[in-house]
């Protein structure tokens, strides 16, 4: 029922003109005529004309509690009024309070937190810690993964479109345990043999780390085949390596069944990295590990100016509270299960839908021009996406061929929203 106040700023055309002149040309956007989004409330976004859109992409799996959630806003405003910045050189309750709350969400002795400013930076730090801790250099990541765009993370990322200035060696890409496209179907343990082969044939036998998403996000919502992580972790630990879970997209209850994506595979990582949903859109990331592994930074001057900023931490603390109080993980499970069923029915109806997958409110719909050869239907994906936008639904896309719809809305999404989305897709 929310009516945004009238928008009085410059038009979309004017903003686009300035954007072309003043912003990096490497930036790209969805839709031929990009939307000028001026307001957000819960699962909705509003454009300059007051038109409402159902946000099924959630700011790229980031707006966990919903746009401008009042409790998160209040926490940010209150913290901003008392202290905006101090650095971790001094004590501040907002930082330690959030670190303690975050640690309580992780299993076993994963309880030492390092705050960063993004997911990339969290993964850079995790990989560096693994290399320092083990004294080894080789890293194994999974093909089709996305881990960031700095030195070590761009090397670990395994999709050509995101790899253009790779300056680190010693990274190996394992077969993707993709139940839809992978050669071993959904037999996760078979794919893990490739990790052993990489160690045997591509390294000295000792590795620093294995890094993996539990459900690949940018790669098109690909859930690791069941049993993969357990087996891969065993193999990597035998070679002296640490196991890093990249929870940048799948964390914070998004997958519905668990708070963290890796938990669905029954594993406990050595290092967990996170960002996106951690602050409901406030830029922040974190690395959580054990005290033993964290000791590698003990006498080193590892530092970043903004990491642990009190305003970000106040937002993060409020996000955890809202996820618990509003039972958003449980909602992600209930609504996600319902939505997946409705999408599966659509798959039954249209040959164009090759696969429906994912968990909770992290769902993917892969479009193919023929089911036998699974030829990516890229043009159709763009066309439907555009049509859905005209009908009032914003959806993401991804996958290395750009033919997968990514559905990662705020976790307050309702069954009614799910119906609205499917009806727009079925238009």
Q: Applying CB under 6 A, does 255 fall inside the site for ligand PLP? A: no
For position 260 contacting ligand PLP by CB under 6 A, the verdict is: no
Nearer to ligand PLP, 283 or 392 (CB): 283
Q: Which is nearer to ligand PLP, 116 or 136 (CB)?
A: 116
Site string for ligand PLP, 22-41 (x = CB under 6 A): --------------------
Residue 286 contacts residue 115 (beta carbons within 8 Å): yes
Residue 162 backbone dihedrals phi, psi, to 5 degrees: -100, 5
DSSP state, residue 376: B
DSSP string, 114-135: EEESSHHHHHHHHHHHHHHHH-
213 binds ligand PLP (CB under 6 A): yes
Is 147 an interacting residue with respect to ligand PLP (CB under 6 A)? yes
239 touches ligand PLP by CB under 6 A = no
218 near ligand PLP, judged by CB under 6 A: yes
How many CB atoms lie under 10 A from the CB of residue 37? 16
146 binds ligand PLP, rule: CB under 6 A: yes
Q: Which one of 16-24, 70-78, 182-190, 241-249 is the stretch in contact with ligand PLP (CB under 6 A)?
A: 241-249
Radius of gyration of the chain (CA): 21
* One-character DSSP codes across 236-266: HHHTT-EEEEE-TTTTTTTTSS-SSGGGGGT
Q: H helices within 182-307, ranges in order?
A: 188-202, 228-238, 291-294
CB of 147 to ligand PLP, least distance (A): 5
DSSP for residue 160: G
Distance CA 66, CA 69 (A): 6
d(CA 408, CA 252): 12
Q: Would you say 48 or 246 has its CB closer to ligand PLP?
A: 246
At 141, list the tokens: 């990541």
How far, in Å, CA of 56 to CA of 36, rounded?
A: 17
Q: Which of 128, 214, 248, 278 binds ligand PLP (CB under 6 A)?
A: 248
Query: Smallest distance, Å, CB 1 to ligand PLP?
Result: 33
Residue of 156, 275, 315, 384 interacting with ligand PLP (CB under 6 A): 275
Cβ-proximal residue to ligand PLP, closest one:
119
Give the one residue of 36, 43, 79, 120 binding ligand PLP; rule: CB under 6 A: 120
Q: Is residue 131 near ligand PLP by the rule CB under 6 A?
A: no
Q: How far is the CB of 153 from ligand PLP (least distance, A)?
A: 7
Q: Which two tokens stand for residue 350?
A: 């249209």
Task: Figure out which of the listed residues 217, 256, 261, 307 binds ligand PLP, where binding follows CB under 6 A.
Answer: 217
Q: Min. distance of Cβ 210 from ligand PLP in angstroms?
A: 15
Query: Minimum CB separation from ligand PLP for residue 145, in Å?
Result: 7
Rounded Cα gap, residues 343 and 345, in angstroms: 5
Give the whole-angstrom CA distance, residue 121 versus residue 376. 32
Binding site for ligand PLP (CB under 6 A): 118-120, 123, 146-148, 213, 217-218, 246, 248-249, 275
């Amino acid at each position: 029922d929310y009516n945004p106040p009238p928008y009085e700023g410059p038009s979309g055309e004017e903003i686009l003109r300035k954007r072309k002149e003043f912003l990096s040309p490497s930036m790209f956007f969805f839709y031929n005529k990009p939307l000028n989004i001026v307001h957000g409330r819960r699962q909705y976004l509003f454009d300059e004309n007051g038109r409402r859109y159902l946000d099924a992409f959630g700011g790229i799996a980031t707006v966990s509690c919903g746009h401008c959630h009042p409790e998160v806003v209040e926490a940010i405003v209150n913290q901003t009024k008392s202290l905006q910045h101090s650095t971790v050189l001094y004590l501040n309750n907002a930082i330690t309070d959030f670190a303690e709350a975050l640690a309580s969400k992780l299993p076993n002795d994963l309880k030492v937190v390092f705050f960063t400013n993004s997911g990339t930076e969290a993964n850079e730090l995790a990989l560096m810690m693994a290399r320092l801790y083990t004294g080894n250099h080789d890293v194994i990541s999974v093909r089709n993964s996305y881990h960031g765009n700095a030195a070590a993370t761009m090397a670990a990322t395994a999709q050509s479109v995101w790899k253009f200035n790779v300056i680190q060696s010693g990274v190996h890409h394992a077969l993707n345990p993709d139940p839809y496209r992978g050669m071993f179907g959904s037999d996760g343990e078979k794919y893990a043999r490739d990790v052993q082969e990489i160690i045997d044939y591509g390294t000295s036998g000792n590795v620093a780390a294995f890094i993996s998403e539990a459900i690949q996000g940018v790669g098109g919502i690909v859930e690791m085949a069941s049993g993969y992580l357990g087996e891969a972790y065993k193999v990597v630990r035998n070679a002296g390596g640490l196991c890093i879970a990249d929870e940048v997209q799948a964390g914070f209850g998004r997958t519905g069944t668990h708070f963290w994506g890796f938990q669905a595979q029954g594993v406990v990582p050595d290092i967990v990295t996170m960002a996106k949903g951690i602050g409901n859109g406030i830029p922040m990331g974190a690395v959580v590990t054990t005290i033993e592994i964290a000791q590698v930074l003990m006498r080193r001057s590892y530092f970043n100016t903004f990491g642990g900023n009190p305003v970000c931490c106040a937002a993060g603390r409020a996000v955890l509270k809202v996820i618990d109080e509003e039972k958003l993980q449980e909602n992600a499970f209930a609504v996600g299960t319902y939505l997946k069923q409705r999408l599966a029915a659509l798959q039954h109806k249209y040959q164009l839908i090759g696969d429906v997958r994912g968990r909770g409110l992290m769902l993917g719909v892969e479009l193919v021009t023929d089911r036998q050869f699974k030829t990516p239907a890229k043009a159709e994906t763009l066309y439907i996406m555009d049509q859905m936008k005209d009908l009032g639904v914003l959806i993401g896309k991804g996958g290395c061929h750009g033919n997968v719809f990514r559905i990662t809305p705020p976790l307050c999404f309702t069954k009614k929203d799910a119906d609205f989305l499917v009806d727009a897709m079925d238009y």
